[in-house]
């Protein structure tokens, strides 16, 4: 059994501060990496207990250098680093995967009562895929669905998990903290979340047949509304981008993974 695992940091146990915890070089960043390892290794251990033989992880946060390779479970392989021009590898990586997990995820930009809310880049106000309002959870699930791989397990703050369930139904999940507002949450102990993540990860593999890939019809249309017109103006330099209004741009293609990689890479100045 092969499992894909996407890992972020804002939705990990004990994380509530953008400036002090989740930015590389911040005062508490190294401590935050330990919290990340606690959640991720628990998910890996649970997946292995549930029958997974191969686990491939995408380190998605900031520069993709957040997982301590000397401490990660030996049965996991990790895509690390940015810029990540991974499109040629995605089809091979997702091929034959039985499901994918999202560890440490958060709710989309502007979520009422959300914690550390954003959608990929803090310049993005709203993201629509085929006219459906999406955050990172929705977009990554759609990309996995493009390769016929279903979302089977999610961990994150209460608003992030709620977003996943609103989009995709009763997905096995673990709430590692209850969001209070943008910069505070009721956090649970690492021991508690570690045990719950391990057990629910294991159980999610027993429910594989209940989860179907989330598939949308092509062509794929992405509309992004920015907070400021300067960002929309910048995106006009990307081939195929249509300016909709002062704040909004639109792109379309038959390959969702390639379309999104080009778009978000240009948006975030990846070379």
Output 82 or 12, whichever has higher pLDDT: 12
Q: Any idea where the domains of the chain sit in the sequence?
A: 2-121+135-210
> What pLDDT, on a 0 to 100 scale, did the predictor assign at position 270?
40
List, in sequence order, every beta strand (DSSP E) within 145-198.
151-157, 173-181, 184-187
- Whole-number average pLDDT of the chain: 94
Name residue, tokens 């002090």. Answer: 20
CA distances (Å), 206 to each of 50, 52, 66, 268, in order?
Answer: 7, 11, 30, 38
Distance CA 241, CA 269 (A): 16
First to last CA, the chain: 35
Residue 83 DSSP class? S
Predicted TM-score (pTM) of this structure? 0.95
> What pLDDT, on a 0 to 100 scale, did the predictor assign at position 271?
38
> What pLDDT, on a 0 to 100 scale, did the predictor assign at position 201?
98
> What pLDDT, on a 0 to 100 scale, did the predictor assign at position 85?
67
pLDDT digits (tens, 9 = 90+) for 42-92: 999 999 999 999 999 999 999 999 999 999 999 999 999 886 667 678 888
CATH architecture observed for domain 2-121+135-210: 3-Layer(aba) Sandwich (3.40)
Encoded tokens for 227: 């907070």
């Amino acid at each position: 059994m092969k499992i894909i695992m996407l890992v972020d940091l804002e939705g990990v146990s004990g994380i509530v501060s953008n400036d002090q915890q989740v930015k590389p070089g911040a005062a508490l960043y190294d401590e935050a990496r330990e919290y990340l390892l606690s959640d991720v290794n628990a998910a890996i251990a649970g997946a292995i207990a549930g029958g997974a033989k191969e686990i491939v992880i995408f380190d998605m946060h900031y520069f993709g250098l957040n997982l301590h390779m000397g401490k990660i479970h030996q049965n996991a392989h990790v895509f690390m680093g940015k810029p990540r021009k991974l499109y040629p590898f995605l089809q091979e990586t997702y091929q034959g995967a039985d499901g994918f997990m999202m560890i440490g995820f958060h709710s989309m930009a502007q979520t009422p009562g959300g914690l550390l809310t954003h959608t990929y880049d803090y310049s993005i106000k709203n993201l629509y895929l085929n006219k459906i309002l999406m955050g990172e959870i929705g977009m990554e699930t759609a990309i996995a669905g493009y390769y016929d791989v279903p979302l089977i397990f999610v961990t994150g703050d209460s608003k992030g998990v709620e977003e996943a369930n609103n989009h995709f139904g009763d997905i096995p999940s673990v709430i590692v903290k209850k969001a209070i507002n943008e910069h505070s949450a009721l956090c649970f102990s690492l021991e508690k979340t570690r045990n719950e993540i391990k057990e629910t990860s294991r159980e999610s593999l027993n429910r594989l047949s209940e989860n179907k890939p989330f598939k949308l019809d092509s062509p794929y249309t992405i509309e992004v509304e920015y907070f400021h017109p300067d960002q929309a103006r910048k995106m006009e330099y990307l081939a195929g981008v249509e300016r909709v209004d002062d704040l909004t741009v639109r792109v379309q293609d038959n390959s969702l993974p390639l379309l999104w990689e080009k778009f978000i890479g240009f948006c975030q100045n990846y070379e």
